[in-house]
Structure 1
Amino acid sequence: MPHRILIVEDERIPAADLELRLTALGYEVVGSVATGADALRLAGERAPDLVLMDIRLRGDLDGIAAADRLRAEHFVPVVFLTAHSDDETLSRARVVEPYGYLLKPFQERELRTVIEMALYKHAAERRLRASERRYATTLASIGDGVIATDRTGAVTFLNPVAERLTGWPLAEAAGRALRDVFVICNEGTRLPVENPVDRVLREGRVVGLANHTVLTARTGGECPIDDCAAPILDDRGAVDGAVLVFRDITARRRQEDEKARLDEKLREGTKLEAIGRLAGGVAHDFNNLLTVINGYADLLLAGLTERGPLWEPLAAIQDAGERAARLTQQLLAFSRRSMVEPKVLDLNAVVTHIGKLLRRLIGEDIALALALDPHLAPVTADLGQIEQVIINLAVNARDAMPGGGRLTLETRNVEVRAADTAAQPDLRPGRYVRFTVADTGAGVPEDVRPHIFEPFFTTKGVGKGTGLGLAVVHGVVKQAGGHIALECPPGAGTAFVMLFPAGTSRDAPAPAPAPVPTGGSETILLVEDEDPVRNIARLALDVQGYTVLSAGGAAEALKVAAAHPGRIDLLVTDVVMPNAGGRELGDALRAVRPDVKILFMSGYTDEAVVPDGAFGSGEAFIQKPFSPIGLARKVRAVLDAHA
């Protein structure tokens, strides 16, 4: 397809001659006009590839002015035709950057050469401009700031991100030293940092920015950044400038901080879980010992009709044993291995009921305030454990306010959304009952907060605390499927915020008084691998009139049962035993004696002992350490159930 050329010549004969010569050379002439105004009009209508323009034209626009407008409005290349080669004319023509000159008169060969060179130069410029547009669009769309400089370090370019981060628009920054536009310092020392571009221009290699660098914008705002500067090389490989690429890492820094915080919470949870397993194991073994100690103390005290010389030492043994049992219960609560009896509770009723005890516990110089939501949803938890949580937190609050203050217990319904759980990976979205215990004490020091839920960690003096109070609270809340957090605003005391899953129904009957134990004549198969525990349990059941068959393990128990010709009414078995546990024993015994009832006993329970915390029909559980009376009462209740 031939190139299209517009002729602008105010002399008719030269114009006609030029048209004939162009046609003979294979070009298409789209028009021939005599004025600059007509040239602009026809260029807009017919879009020529090239304009051959006489410099001197009649009218308001001479050739130089018309060429300037053609370049600006239509980006059409212009070759000047002139018989004048004086310096003044050529100087004016150079301002509009023509694509060539033809001095009249000229030959066809000269005409063709100038036209082809002009067309080639224009095509190259079009490709260059397209490349520049792609380059500019790319730099404008990326999320990093980009600044380019010349070989002296003066700014030649800023993309929009760089303009925003530095506060300098390109029009004002161009030509300025980079150090005036890109102002950086060390985040920790606040001392100025060497500009990486200075090193690039000096060393001719890629240079990265040191960590912990802050960019100060023209407006005074600051943001942490990282960046990299690289040299711009000329055709000979010499450094002709530099390009600096940098980014605002505020969001990344926030994500890193959040990840570090979550990692720390994970490590803390793993540590607590490991300590919990250890505590549960210790409590399990200790409970076996306490079952024997407390059991014999109870039996001996029950046999004394008068307060003789043995009464006081036996009572001291019994008291110490009971306190030790409470300590093991705290260990089990912390480790979430205690046996619970979850019920649907009205937390407001629990708080109101225990409020009378709290007023005596905290003393007269501490005011107790209750802020209870009258429309509070119910929760499912163990009543005794919830009361223990309230007491433990109240005692801590009392100790934090030796000069008096206010203890506030608040309940309300809350909705936890997915966005609220981002910082708490163990919390799920849903409806919760929020229970807050807050005091107006001095608060918890910053260095203490990471350790508050650790067992045996205490800031109290020797002999004034076991360090289990908050560990127990943590374990109870977690075992109830809840979440607990510490809030300690500066100068505003301490608040423990607990979230319990909200229920939909209410069923919180008042606990029935413990029945007076009565004996019986039924036959009981007692299985326990610890001889002292088995002996005290057998003694406790013997005195109640039961026929007791005993065994030290599952295999022995099955042999005893097979050899017994009569009925076996109840299996009382330890849960964890060598070779086969109590649950396996119960399944095997029921295969041959389907009507036998089962009472499990253990120092602790977890998912491996009692799956889902549930028992089947005719099954029950008693927690060690138990008293002889407690065992007798539980045995009678299991035998009488569904009789």
Structure 2
Amino acid sequence: MINASILVVEDEAIVAKDLQNRLKKLGYSITNTAFSGEDAINKVRENPPDLILMDIKLKGKIDGIEAAEEIHKYIDIPIIYLTAYADEKTLERAKVTVPFGYIIKPFKERELQINIEISLTKYKLEKELKANQKWLYTLLISIGDGVIASDIQELVTFMNPVAEYLTGWKQEEAYGKNSSEVFNIVDAETRKPLENPITKAIRNGIAVGLPAEAILIAKNGTEIPIDDSAAPIKDDQDNIMGAVLVFRDITDRKLAIAALKKQIEQEQLVVQLENINQLKNDFFNLVSHELRSPLYNMKVMIQMLQTFAVNGEAQRYFGLLEAECDREMHLINDLLDLQRLENSSYLLTSPALLLLHQWLPWVVEPFQIRVQEHQQTLQVNIPSDLPPLFSDGSSLERMVAELLNNACKYTPTGGEIVLTIRHDSSQAPAIIIIAISNSVEIPAVALPRIFDKFYRIPNSDLRNEGGTGLGLPIVQKLVEQLQGNIQVESREGWTTFTIRLSDLSSGLSVE
């Protein structure tokens, strides 16, 4: 390497001058000349050369070998020893400093040049190799995957920080241990041990991977789902020297896959439910046309036959048939109403400002006659100072009528029914509370199911009349449509349904 700068360390001035002349003749640049070990150290610090020609025997406190050791502590410079000493002891001391050459005096210029060129070239290659090694080491400790390297005996030679974290083993603990002990894997389903990928890669001489369901059992017993691959490490002659294993924690991936699978299942379920709802709608539309029309025709024909009945027994049977037609028609109408409410297709037909103290007595009036027929008592408490309520009169009428109808059916002869309305101004917006009570107690086990479709209280003693079991579910849905809530409680011989409604014009839901 022509023009390389060289420091000559030689305590004999004549020899040093001769070296300088030879080096200049060969085309090298002389940075300086040092006559002692201490002087060499100082000059290297001031102006580092490309190479040092160092005599071993120097005047002063330290010799050339000691000077080389000191220089190597803070800077990496190739050193060639030029010495007349070739004894074993001196040679062993010199070897410790890893010199790039050892030339015995006297020497020829060609020998000197060859050693210098070889040393500079070797130093350059070693410097590049060290840089590559440093780059590779930085890469291995910086990547997000775990990396474990082994020798041909499958003994651990390297682990990066991610591998340390996942396995629970520090590199200094794992170094020299069998890789199967450090990298302990089992099948996630069978829990049987899996073959170490490093073993397989060394045996087969090709890259290998793990099964999809592999679990890494860390040193502390923690289980981590992983994915990995291992490949053999080969030299220039394609001889296997060991293997490298790269693996990663796939917990997040599995969670993401599970979440995606769940989302797909939910979407499929939504589609299935939509299809079911469509089938249900089609069915109810069919029911609406195919059942109501024949029932209506049957009722008309029964009424016509009643006019020709000649005896009371026939009249009684025709009356029963007509009542059954009415009951079936009522059931079909309730089913259709509940279907519309559950599909959120029910629309408030006529929201308006209602004067409850004038409007409710008109709704209650038909039930006054009914309770008299059953020797019951209906008490209505409606304050005259109730504020107007902006709500849907049709829905509100249906709710009150259904609850009063239930009360009449379930209240025994001589029992009482009480309808009370009050205004709660302590909340914003203000609340209208409608409470309908009757003197009968519902068993505690029946209360949680009171709003279930087709549910009827199993105790036959509480049923004076038949029903569809759809009235209360319809009431509950109507209350929700009016942005309210309904509660029921039954104790001390009384059952009370309480509806809380807010003014729809406020746009706020009741608590």
Same fold (TM over 0.5): yes
**2:233 maps to amino acid:** I
- Deviation per CA, 1:290-348, whole angstroms, max 9, x where unpaired? 4424655777899999x9533321121111122123223444455555556597989xx
Q: Could you tell me how far apart the structure 2 residues matched to 1:155 and 1:81 are?
A: 42
Report which structure shows greater RCO (CA 8 Å, sep ≥6).
Answer: 1
Shift of 1:260: 1.1
- Say yes or no: does 1:205 pair with 2:206: yes
Q: Could you tell me how far apart the structure 1 residues matched to 2:123 and 2:504 are?
A: 79
Higher Rg: 2
- Distance of aligned partners of 1:161 and 1:287 in 2 relative to their CA distance in 1, 3 Å threshold: same
- Say yes or no: does 1:323 pair with 2:335: no
**2:158 maps to amino acid:** F
Q: Are the equivalent residues in 2 in contact too, given 1:187–1:212 (CA < 8 A)?
A: yes
Give the secondary structure class of the aligned counterpart of 1:237. coil
Q: Are the equivalent residues in 1 in contact too, given 2:292–2:332 (CA < 8 A)?
A: no
**2:98 maps to amino acid:** E
Q: Are the equivalent residues in 1 in contact too, given 2:235–2:241 (CA < 8 A)?
A: yes
Q: Could you tell me how far apart the structure 1 residues matched to 2:345 and 2:283 are?
A: 12
Shift of 1:218: 2.3
- Equivalence for 2:46: 45
- Say yes or no: does 1:217 pair with 2:225: no
User: Percent identical across equivalent pairs?
Assistant: 37
Shift of 1:141: 2.4
- Equivalence for 1:132: 133
Q: Are the equivalent residues in 2 in contact too, given 1:377–1:504 (CA < 8 A)?
A: no
TM-score normalised per structure 1: 0.53
- Say yes or no: does 1:506 pair with 2:493: no
Q: Could you tell me how far apart the structure 2 residues matched to 1:41 and 1:221 are?
A: 56
**CA RMSD across the alignment:** 4.5
- Deviation per CA, 1:70-95, whole angstroms, max 9, x where unpaired? 33421111111221112222222222
Give the secondary structure class of the aligned counterpart of 1:179. helix
Output aligned runs, 1:236-251, within 5 Å: 236-251=237-252
TM-score normalised per structure 2: 0.66
Q: State which of 311, 318, 321 in structure 1 corresponds to 2:319.
A: 311
Q: What stretches of structure 2 of length at least 5 have no aligned partner?
A: 352-389, 410-425, 431-441, 455-467, 483-502
Q: Could you tell me how far apart the structure 2 residues matched to 1:47 and 1:477 are?
A: 92
Give the secondary structure class of the aligned counterpart of 1:39. helix
- Deviation per CA, 1:544-566, whole angstroms, max 9, x where unpaired? xxxxxxxxxxxxxxxxxxxxxxx
Output aligned runs, 1:181-580, within 5 Å: 181-293=182-294, 295-296=296-297, 308-309=315-316, 310-334=318-342, 402=445, 506=506
- Deviation per CA, 1:227-257, whole angstroms, max 9, x where unpaired? 1111111222121100101000011011111
Give the secondary structure class of the aligned counterpart of 2:144. coil
Q: Could you tell me how far apart the structure 1 residues matched to 2:43 and 2:57 are?
A: 19
Q: What stretches of structure 1 of length at least 5 have no aligned partner?
A: 362-373, 379-397, 408-436, 438-454, 457-465, 481-502, 510-643
- Deviation per CA, 1:387-417, whole angstroms, max 9, x where unpaired? xxxxxxxxxxx99x9498x89xxxxxxxxxx
- Deviation per CA, 1:343-383, whole angstroms, max 9, x where unpaired? 7989xxx9xx99x97x999xxxxxxxxxxxx97999xxxxx
- Distance of aligned partners of 1:341 and 1:139 in 2 relative to their CA distance in 1, 3 Å threshold: farther
- Distance of aligned partners of 1:155 and 1:316 in 2 relative to their CA distance in 1, 3 Å threshold: same
- Distance of aligned partners of 1:335 and 1:123 in 2 relative to their CA distance in 1, 3 Å threshold: same
Q: Are the equivalent residues in 2 in contact too, given 1:345–1:508 (CA < 8 A)?
A: no
Q: Are the equivalent residues in 1 in contact too, given 2:4–2:50 (CA < 8 A)?
A: yes
- Distance of aligned partners of 1:508 and 1:169 in 2 relative to their CA distance in 1, 3 Å threshold: closer
- Equivalence for 1:584: none
- Equivalence for 1:622: none
Shift of 1:505: 6.2
- Equivalence for 1:152: 153
Report the number of matched residues: 392
Q: Could you tell me how far apart the structure 1 residues matched to 2:213 and 2:282 are?
A: 47
Give the secondary structure class of the aligned counterpart of 2:130. helix
**2:102 maps to amino acid:** Y
- Distance of aligned partners of 1:209 and 1:508 in 2 relative to their CA distance in 1, 3 Å threshold: closer
**2:77 maps to amino acid:** V
Give the secondary structure class of the aligned counterpart of 2:200. helix
- Deviation per CA, 1:482-517, whole angstroms, max 9, x where unpaired? xxxxxxxxxxxxxxxxxxxxx9961599xxxxxxxx
Output aligned runs, 1:603-622, within 5 Å: none
**1:23 maps to amino acid:** K
**2:113 maps to amino acid:** R
**1:328 maps to amino acid:** L
Give the secondary structure class of the aligned counterpart of 1:156. strand
